[in-house]
Structure 1
Amino acid sequence: MDAAELTLTQAHRAIARAEVSPVELLDAVCTRVAALDSHLNATVAVFHDAARSCARAAEREIVRNGPRGPLHGIPISVKEIVDLAGVPTLAGSASRAAHPDAHVPARDAVAVRRLREAGAIVFATSRSHELAYGVTTPRTHNPWRYDRSPGGSSGGAAALVAARCGPVALGTDTAGSVRIPASVCGTVGLKPTPGLVPRTGIVPLSETLDTPGPLGRTVDDTAAVLAVLTGMDLNPGLPDATRLPNGLNLSEVRIGVPTTYFFDGCDPEIAAATHRTIAALDELGAQTREVALPYGQELATAGGIVVGAEAGAEHGGLLEEDPDSLTDEVRSKLAVGRDISAVDYLDAQRTLRSVSRRWDAVLRDIDVLVTPTLAATARPFGAASTDPGQDPRIRHTRLTQPANLTGRPAITIPCGLDTADIPMGVQLIGRAHEENTLLAVARAVEMTVAWSDRVPLAADTAQ
């Protein structure tokens, strides 16, 4: 097997057994990137030489002492809004690209520092939607269909992982920017509880909602990255549960199935795949019940105001300093954000707190919600919306943003392909700071879908 095909977990085992070296793994990944990125356009920069030096050092250390942990010697890409010492942080911005020397950080972001300390090898920066303010990553292509969007704003990260160009990636999620591209590219994407992963050294979009998170090909891979980023003990078992021979015991887990909002206007194939997932969890012993979640649209409207105002405050100066560098899309959003009044912003923050408390009350007896990740799969670039009256940004974030706005961790897991052979994702939303339970249920979902042998077009192209 080509070493680039290995998941993080498989690669860690192979490295520990001296079946593959960190140098061989890195070289295999970079060879695949070289073969595919003319199709994907998913990387901003690849640091093969510098990364190879790190891989050689990791190899020597592992030979002497064994691996420090599951990330030691593992290549990882980092979204271009995250600081890497000595590398311009371009953030998908033409203004920054025109003056790269003005955006070279002296130190790594805290998240990157933690990854490096665990032995991970940063080999590339991945493309982001401009300033992480969008859901399509327009310059990058979906590895399943090159004429389709990879989602955004962490579209480059998801495209690389899906195409086997590195087993894991670091992205960020403000309204779904990890889960949206993960869903449409057929990978796992995790948004942790806000505050668990430090945002220091990451270009902000919305200081209230920005959350760094990992993408990988399996739940275990994303859990391994999250454990390093947070220092948490992410045991795969369920709390206080007697584990069965297959490692699962879901009898104590209460699964909520929304009767409101999340299935409204959902593509029938995605809705059916989500309900199959719920049925599978029920068969595994989970307690499933319907729940009516309050104020879906009120929450979305308030979230749009908070993101718009905070993005306008952070980046709105570009409207005067360098407006021609902005795309029409981002220029328009920043202009709207700059016009949001302090009263409207504070009212929106109050709404978020109020609705979050109402969610807590409704979900007091629910451990994990199961919903579609998106209402539709990846669309061709430039295709008209299936709902012409709805803003595409709202259509893409409508089902992912509630987890951000209510402060909950959420994960998307592939749940099959639609009739056009495009990936679909199912979303799990958990209790704040209960990532262990969320990940345990996610592992159960992963076992219900034969996904590991699904290969995107890009993987074939690399042969």
Structure 2
Amino acid sequence: MSDLHWLTASAAAHAIATRKLSPVELTQALLDRIERLDPKLNAFIRVDGEAALRAAKAAEAEAVSGRLRGPLHGVPVGIKDIIDVAGLATTCHSKVLEDNIATADAVCVEKLRGAGAIVLGKLSTHEFAIGGPSFDLPWPPARNPWNTDHHPGGSSSGSGSGVAAGLFPMALGTDTGGSVRNPASCCGIVGLKPTYGLVSRRGVFPLSFTLDHIGPMTRTVTDNALMLQAIAGHDPLDPGSAAATQGHYVAGLERDLRGLRVGFVRHFHETDTPADPEVTAVLEHVAHTLQTEGATVRTVRLPTLGEFGAVNRVILQSEAWSIHAPWLGERPQDYGQLARRRLMAGAFMSAGDYVLASRRRLEMIAEVEAALREVDVLLCASSMDPACRIDNPADVERTYPRQARTPFNVTGHPALAMMAGLSSAGLPVSVQFVGRYFDEATVFAVAHAWEQAAGTDQKHPVLD
């Protein structure tokens, strides 16, 4: 097989299962590509090549004897470095934790291994999933493979960059205010923030207990559904875990969209935070395409992005401060400037602020739930702009809040961001689909229909 680096996870798993591809051959090809390209992408904090090859050899022996661990048997994966991998440091991209060796896998990593996946190593993130892109940390920030002068999005920056660049077909990310969907949007891949509680957070360093999610990042919708099937499920030892039935997400991807009701949240990008004209045009094109596939599209209204953002900010900063206050008091110099500044804001939140934000959050959940009783899925912007330059702090600061992702951290609904097209400068622009609680299957079906119509799964950055 040529171009092994562009093989999807599902295609690679099928080729391995049918003995047409060796897990060792695939893993070695990706390690060679990482060695060649990662010096300019900085997707990795640590490549665990020797362990990956040992796992690949074991997977090959199992495949030869007809014993497959699961649907991802022999497929490599990258892990965001706030997620524990046994024996490796969970640094959170920070000097504060550079020697923090994990003693066990996070539940989501354990489940991926149980499905047969091979861990390649730990991936760059914004410091503690909040401070970045930063140049004053022990490791450099990840870069966008479509143009390495540009930001890859964050905080799951190495996950987005590496998947888009063909360093691995799938990665784990985390999402508290959009941190799976931002790099998915900037790097032109598929990133899902599942329903709150669907994926266990045990073994993942927290940012905000109320808002944190773990999500799959892939190049195709099929791979995303396959990965979610592997990591979803109730964990009685995670207090935020939902006792929900695990879905069979891949089976419903070919669903006919005729009669499906789509609610287009136009005010997010038209009036709340006016988007770049290229983003606006692409969103209208997505809506028109879904109509040609048989869906009906109507405009719906939710609370404003300003309101959602304020609630998210108060809850996130208050809860993050409760986690980081001891270290910020004892060793503030070990934080990067961006993370320190963003985390310190939580010190000035009052109990009253937190209670009012929590009360308003419940009202917002009710408003989104009311909208989703009238439609089956929501369509809206993800990022309002293509990725900006990574070396322009003012532009990063300006564009970072220009997004429509935080509403669905506030409410906990499943939300998927993916490529909607390319800008005139050759950078990805994005769209977001949002569903009812635990109805990831419908979100995937809509996303898959758009992907098939637009061919977004065939678009890759040119790196060689």
| Contact residue 263 and residue 372 of structure 1 kept, 8 A | no
- Following TM superposition, by how much is the alpha carbon of 1:302 offset from its aligned partner in structure 2, in angstroms? 1.1
1:252 to 249, 259, 265: 259
Deviations, residues 301-330 of structure 1 (Å, cap 9, x unaligned): 011000000111111222211111112221
* Aligned equivalent of 1:449: 454
Residues in 1 aligned to 2:67 and 2:289: alpha-carbon distance in whole angstroms: 39
Residues in 2 aligned to 1:323 and 1:385: alpha-carbon distance in whole angstroms: 24
* Aligned equivalent of 1:147: 149
* Aligned equivalent of 2:210: 208
* Aligned equivalent of 1:234: 248
Q: Secondary structure at the match of 2:388?
A: coil
Q: Secondary structure at the match of 1:256?
A: strand
Deviations, residues 38-71 of structure 1 (Å, cap 9, x unaligned): 1001101111111111111111111212533321
2:416 is the counterpart of 1:415: no
1:280 to 289, 301, 323: 289
* Aligned equivalent of 1:267: 276
Residues in 1 aligned to 2:380 and 2:132: alpha-carbon distance in whole angstroms: 19
Residues in 2 aligned to 1:16 and 1:309: alpha-carbon distance in whole angstroms: 48
* Aligned equivalent of 1:432: 437
Cα distance change, pair 315–437 in 1 and its aligned pair in 2 (3 A): same
1:349 to 358, 367, 384: 358
| Contact residue 229 and residue 249 of structure 2 kept, 8 A | no
Deviations, residues 247-266 of structure 1 (Å, cap 9, x unaligned): 34112311001132233311
1:117 to 114, 117, 142: 114
* Aligned equivalent of 1:331: 340
Q: Secondary structure at the match of 1:122?
A: strand
| Contact residue 137 and residue 151 of structure 1 kept, 8 A | no
| Contact residue 179 and residue 411 of structure 1 kept, 8 A | yes
Which amino acid counterpart does residue 130 of structure 1 have in structure 2? Answer: E
| Contact residue 9 and residue 220 of structure 1 kept, 8 A | yes
User: Which structure 2 residue ranges, 5 or more long, are not aligned?
Assistant: 136-140, 234-245
Q: Secondary structure at the match of 2:280?
A: helix
Which amino acid counterpart does residue 29 of structure 2 have in structure 1? Answer: A
How is 1:46-61 mapped onto 2 (pairs within 5 angstroms)?
46-61=47-62
Deviations, residues 117-175 of structure 1 (Å, cap 9, x unaligned): 11111111100000001464661111011111111000000110001001000010001
Q: Secondary structure at the match of 1:364?
A: helix
Q: Percent identity?
A: 39
| Contact residue 259 and residue 293 of structure 1 kept, 8 A | no
2:24 is the counterpart of 1:23: yes
Residues in 1 aligned to 2:111 and 2:255: alpha-carbon distance in whole angstroms: 30
User: Which structure 1 residue ranges, 5 or more long, are not aligned?
Assistant: none
Cα distance change, pair 33–181 in 1 and its aligned pair in 2 (3 A): same
With 14-23 and 213-222 compared, the bigger mean Cα shift is at 14-23
How is 1:331-410 mapped onto 2 (pairs within 5 angstroms)?
331-383=340-392, 391-395=398-402, 398-410=403-415
* Aligned equivalent of 1:289: 298
- Following TM superposition, by how much is the alpha carbon of 1:94 offset from its aligned partner in structure 2, in angstroms? 1.5
- Following TM superposition, by how much is the alpha carbon of 1:361 offset from its aligned partner in structure 2, in angstroms? 1.6
- Report the RMSD for the aligned CA atoms in angstroms: 1.7
Residues in 1 aligned to 2:15 and 2:270: alpha-carbon distance in whole angstroms: 42
How is 1:94-109 mapped onto 2 (pairs within 5 angstroms)?
94-97=95-98, 100=99, 103-109=100-106
- Following TM superposition, by how much is the alpha carbon of 1:234 offset from its aligned partner in structure 2, in angstroms? 2.5
Cα distance change, pair 261–5 in 1 and its aligned pair in 2 (3 A): closer
Q: Secondary structure at the match of 1:413?
A: strand
- Following TM superposition, by how much is the alpha carbon of 1:181 offset from its aligned partner in structure 2, in angstroms? 0.5
Residues in 2 aligned to 1:294 and 1:9: alpha-carbon distance in whole angstroms: 38
Moved over 4 A (4+): none
- Following TM superposition, by how much is the alpha carbon of 1:237 offset from its aligned partner in structure 2, in angstroms? 5.2
Q: Secondary structure at the match of 1:255?
A: strand
Residues in 1 aligned to 2:263 and 2:365: alpha-carbon distance in whole angstroms: 16
* Aligned equivalent of 1:189: 191
Count of aligned positions: 444
With 199-208 and 65-74 compared, the bigger mean Cα shift is at 65-74
With 289-298 and 307-316 compared, the bigger mean Cα shift is at 289-298
Could you state the TM-score of these two structures normalised by the residue count of structure 2?
0.92
- Following TM superposition, by how much is the alpha carbon of 1:281 offset from its aligned partner in structure 2, in angstroms? 0.3
Residues in 2 aligned to 1:234 and 1:268: alpha-carbon distance in whole angstroms: 38
Residues in 2 aligned to 1:137 and 1:332: alpha-carbon distance in whole angstroms: 12
Cα distance change, pair 431–136 in 1 and its aligned pair in 2 (3 A): farther
| Contact residue 77 and residue 122 of structure 1 kept, 8 A | yes
